[in-house]
Structure 1
Amino acid sequence: MKYGIIIFPTKKVQDEANALRKRYDPHYALIPPHITLKESFEADDETIDELITEMKYIANETEPFKIQINKVSTFAPVTNTIYFKVEPMQQLTDLYEKLHSGKFPDNQQYSFVPHITIAQKLSHDEYSDVFGSLRMRDIKLEDEVDRFQLVYQLDNGSWTVYETFVFGKEKV
């Protein structure tokens, strides 16, 4: 089965992102706005059980933290993806690194750029228009992160939560 590890922001941030995603993101119906901590990976039941034990431990050792979103950015010229830029912070980087070490599969394709996608798979002209407009917006969002989710992909391509890991919740 195909899995991923993500952070869902609060409803306020999701609403801001979805206002744009409805129009500019063909994956809008497949998964809510999120920050990807671990790209999709294949795992069997035994492996995922081992990883869940690791994720519980990581969550228990992590304290909640705040993220800041202050601008719209892009991955161009690599892809015509536009996103809300999550300001880099040590707690988020540490969490990312823990989910890419030990028993976790090493499937990192790109360096970690925390973000929430708001537009993707745009034609070049559409990308230029949309990014030109969105980068002028004054974006100031703050969000508290106190959990992450293990998600899996359904046959129709959509993603759903397999398990949620709350920070500092219980001692192992």
Structure 2
Amino acid sequence: MLYGIVVFPEKHVQDFANSWRRRHDPHYSAIPAHLTVREAEEWSDDELQGAVNHLEQITSVLPPFSIHLNRVSTFYPVNHVLYLALQDTVSMQKLHEQVCSGPLTIPEPPKYVFTPHLTIGQELPADELHDLYGNLRMQAIELSSRIDRVHLLYQTDNGSWTAYQSFLLRG
């Protein structure tokens, strides 16, 4: 089964992101607005249990933190993705490093450098991406959210994602 690890921002941030995702993200109906901590991967039952144990251990020492989203950016030309960018990525980077350690160490060099973000549009034609980015980067964005838990998700048979288990940050 395919599993991934994410954090969900507070509702007001999800609502803002969804106002764009609804039109520009083909995965809008499959998963709520989120920040990916570890990319999806196929796991056996034993790997899943190792991941759960690892997440329980690391979340017991990591404290909750806040994120501040302050602009729209893009991964163009590597990917046709528009996203809300974090003002300071240190807390998300630390979470990523802790999650991707021990039994969840990524076995080969990752395809992309970890860039914490909240996707608001993807799989866009280049022209549409440039038009949207040109308009959105002029908007003032000031969104903050408290992150107090990590979610282990799995992909269902219909392609949507649902929580397998959530882990409170208790440090």
d(CA) in 1 for partners of 2:38, 2:21: 21
The answer as to whether partners of 1:41 and 1:105 remain within 8 angstroms in 2 is: no
TM-score by length of 1: 0.94
Tell me how far 1:43 sits from its aligned partner: 0.6
Select the residue among 156, 162, 165 that pairs with 2:164: 162
Identify unmatched segments of 5+ residues in structure 2. none
What amino acid maps onto 1:164 in structure 2? S
Partners of 1:149 and 1:165 within 8 A in 2: yes
SS at match of 2:100: coil
Q: Which residue of 2 aligns with 1:88?
A: 88
Q: 2 CA distance for matches of 1:52 and 1:124? A: 40
The question of whether the paired residues in 1 share the 8 Å contact of 2:21 and 2:28 is answered with yes
**Where does residue 118 of structure 1 map in the other structure?**
120
In 2, Cα distance between equivalents of 1:111 and 1:157: 25
TM-score (norm 2): 0.95
Q: 1:51 to 1:44 in 2, by over 3 A?
A: same
Deviation per CA, 1:55-85, whole angstroms, max 9, x where unpaired?
0111111101111100000001111100000
Q: Provide the secondary structure at the position in 2 that maps to 1:33.
A: coil
CA deviation string 1:116-172 (max 9, x = no partner): 000011111111111111111110011111111000001111111100000117xxx
Aligned partners of 1:134, 1:120: CA distance in 2, in Å? 14
- Which string of whole-angstrom CA distances, capped at 9 and with x for unpartnered residues, describes residues 14-63 of structure 1? 00000000011111001000000000011111111111011011111110
- Return the alpha-carbon distance in structure 1 between the equivalents of residues 91 and 85 of structure 2: 16
Given that 1:37 and 1:96 are in contact with CA atoms closer than 8 Å, whether structure 2 keeps it comes out as yes
| Identity over aligned pairs, percent | 42
**Where does structure 1 differ by over 2 angstroms across 4 or more consecutive aligned residues?**
87-91
Matches within 5 A, 1:3-22: 3-22=3-22
Which residue identity does 1:13 align to in structure 2? Answer: V
Match of 1:99 in 2: 99
- Once residues 147 and 73 of structure 2 are traced to their aligned partners in structure 1, the CA distance between those partners, rounded to angstroms, is 21
Task: Kindly state the Cα deviation for residue 105 of structure 1 after the two structures are TM-superposed.
Answer: 4.5
Following superposition of structure 1 onto structure 2, how do residues 125-136 of structure 1 map, counting pairs within 5 Å?
A: 125-136=127-138
Can you list the C-alpha shifts for 1:77-103, whole angstroms capped at 9, x where unaligned?
A: 111100000233332211101121211
Return the alpha-carbon distance in structure 1 between the equivalents of residues 163 and 148 of structure 2. Answer: 16
Q: Distance in 1 between matches of 2:48 and 2:2?
A: 10
Structure 1's 111 and 88: CA in aligned 2 closer, same or farther, altered over 3 A? farther
Gaps of 5+ in 1: none
- Is the Cα contact below 8 Å between 2:68 and 2:142 reproduced in 1? yes
